[in-house]
A and B are shown apart, each in its own frame.
Chain A
Amino acid sequence: MSDAAIHARGLTKRFGDFTAVDHIDLDVRPGEIFGFLGANGAGKTTAIKMFIGLLKPTEGEASVAGFDVYRKSASIRRHIGYMSQRFSLYNDLTVLENIRFYGGVYGLRRKELEQRGDEMIAHLGLEQHKDTRLSELPLGWKQKLAFSVALIHDPRIVFLDEPTGGVDPITRRQFWEMIYAAADRGITVFVTTHYMDEAEYCHRVSIMVDGVMAACATPEELKRQFSAASMDEVFYQLARAGQRTE
């Protein structure tokens, strides 16, 4: 087993006749910000779900934080954070209640919980809204809170599935500052996105087309390889070859 944060060899998921993820190989280094790109339906979410233990792979090997995805999914869960496409905090609970619930579920003690909660609220500038229900907060704030909550237990790896969908450019910028801050603390960030400017922020990116890993390198290398001026062009050249559409 390698010491990669996320490791996959020939990882495959089939649903009946449909091969959603087709023999992908992947090594994400600890502390890396890894962009996981692909058109809608390319198989990104399926791959993530296999890494975080929501789906059992059909074949291939994979490990996350050094734990095998087939046998050690409980250990994996303690060491990862996850933020899904759909907003996953409770809209009918307040900021503080959400933090307490998720912190508690991750086994934080009362003292830790209070300290972590206060820090997080101060850091997000939500002091005045800590007793506000999430349903009353704007989406951008909620997404930032969701990201912070995904990090509440100091995970080794955090999986972000389109975290910036539907938020304004300023918030997106702030969001990426938070991602960099997390990477500086040594947390590996595995992020999917449809924004190619965000792809440029990643240390390395991979592009999936029809369930297959079509490319994997730094943004600079990819641009050189495809003689493109931007990641946008790289993505367009690769994704256009894809057959699957939603």
Chain B
Amino acid sequence: MRTVLHMLRKEFLQIFRNKGMLPIIFVAPIVQLLVLVHAADFEVRNVRLMVNDMDGSPTSRALIDRFGASERFQVTVTHCCFEKGMAALDAGATDAFLRIPVGFEQDLRRSMHGSLMLDLNGVDGQFASLVLLYSRSIIGNEQVDLMQRLHGLRDAPKPPVDAIPRFWYNLGMDYKNLMVPGLLAVLVTLVGMFLSSMNIVREKEIGTIEQINVTPIRKWQFILGKLLPFWFISLFLLAIGLALGKLFFHIPIEGSVLLLFAFAGVYLWVTLGMGLFISTVSDTQQQSMFLSWFFLVIFVLLSGLFTPIENMPHWAQVITWFDPVSYFVQVIRLVLLKGSSAMDIARHFGIVVLYAAAINGLAVMNYRKRA
């Protein structure tokens, strides 16, 4: 154990002396957290809308006014021919193009049914579906008024079935409450995996690992001495990140912070084990960085941070079972937003423990073989 302490002292001395690395460890993740949360804003505002009002009736004008009054839409042109509208959509000058056909009002009056044509820029599917959702809700509201006006009804007819939504665990549907914990999970993962692998490979690069290997120091002591500092640093970053999230984004902390740290403490051995494994198959820091990057991109995209896992095709969902980051993203959201207890996340705990044991076992085996 004393040997491990000697290792730890040396590692901390070196980490805090490395002027190039310190900002990457401490400043970059915090800046990323504060900035990326805004970059990952899924709310849609100021959608540019072009309209071709071929009907020119009071009804069509009222509908356009309603779009214009919404903070989500910005009606740029009201009378725009088809070619111009489509050209604008092609050129990216508008996000949506609404066409109101001739006789729209008449149709409504006669058959209580009218059609509108909405062209959307579908390059970003998520954006387009949100625009569609907003458009539908605006048109739906207008419908109620329309019925009143056209048919002289005093009370607006209510649709036969109406679902009243309440978004539990995130009442205001605030995306920040979802993103801050998720991003935090990813950033902590990143630091653990990148830095631990690079740190070990650095000893290979400068040749000191050979000297270490002829001393009585045991492999497990060396590995523990290398990984523990990044375990502490990652947990420290998690604490800082939570505090900043609370301070700047007012994220809710419903569950036990202790439980979250207990889970993170176990989970980090998965990322550190990956770092160790990568270091055993890399000879240079560049190699280890490329490998870490390769795994991290896959892990992060499949983690459910940006796109809900439930929306992925089944085969992709199966892959996410093997994505450690997805468990941490889920747990941090469950504990912070839903206030889940240890029992609720027992399954996640079990999987992460297995994962940590497997990856570290593999890494240590590989390390022995090669060094």
Contacts and interface: CB of A to CB of B under 8 A. Distances in A.
Given A88-B207, A105-B3, A97 B10 contact: yes
Contacts of B126: none
Contacts of B214: 52-54, 77, 80, 82
A93 B14 contact: yes
A77 B14 contact: no
Contact of B6 (A80, A86, A101): A101
B106 interface: no
Contacts of A82: 211, 214
B202 to A, nearest CB: 10
B13 interface: yes
Interface residues of A, number: 25
Contacts of B2: 104, 107
Q: Name the residue among B3, B207, B211 with the largest chain A CB count within 10 angstroms.
A: B211
B206 to A, nearest CB: 8
A137 to B, nearest CB: 16
Contacts of B217: 105
Interface in B1-32: 2-3, 5-7, 9-10, 13-14, 17-18
Nearest to B19: A92
B211 A92 contact: no
A54 B210 contact: yes
Contacts of B308: none
Which among B17, B208, B213, B214 has the highest number of chain A CB atoms within 10 Å? B214
A88 to B, nearest CB: 4
B3 A92 contact: no
Given A90-B208, A93-B14, A97-B10, A54 B216 contact: no
A77 B215 CA distance: 6
Contact of B207 (A74, A87, A92, A104): A87
Interface in B194-236: 206-208, 210-217
Given A93-B13, A93-B14, A105 B215 contact: yes
A88 B210 contact: yes
B296 to A, nearest CB: 27
A146 to B, nearest CB: 9
B370 to A, nearest CB: 12
Interface of B: 2-3, 5-7, 9-10, 13-14, 17-18, 206-208, 210-217
6 contacts: A80-B214, A86-B206, A86-B210, A97-B10, A105-B6, A105-B7
Given A88-B208, A97-B13, 14 more contacts: A53-B213, A54-B214, A77-B214, A77-B215, A78-B216, A82-B214, A84-B207, A89-B211, A93-B10, A93-B17, A101-B6, A104-B2, A104-B5, A106-B216
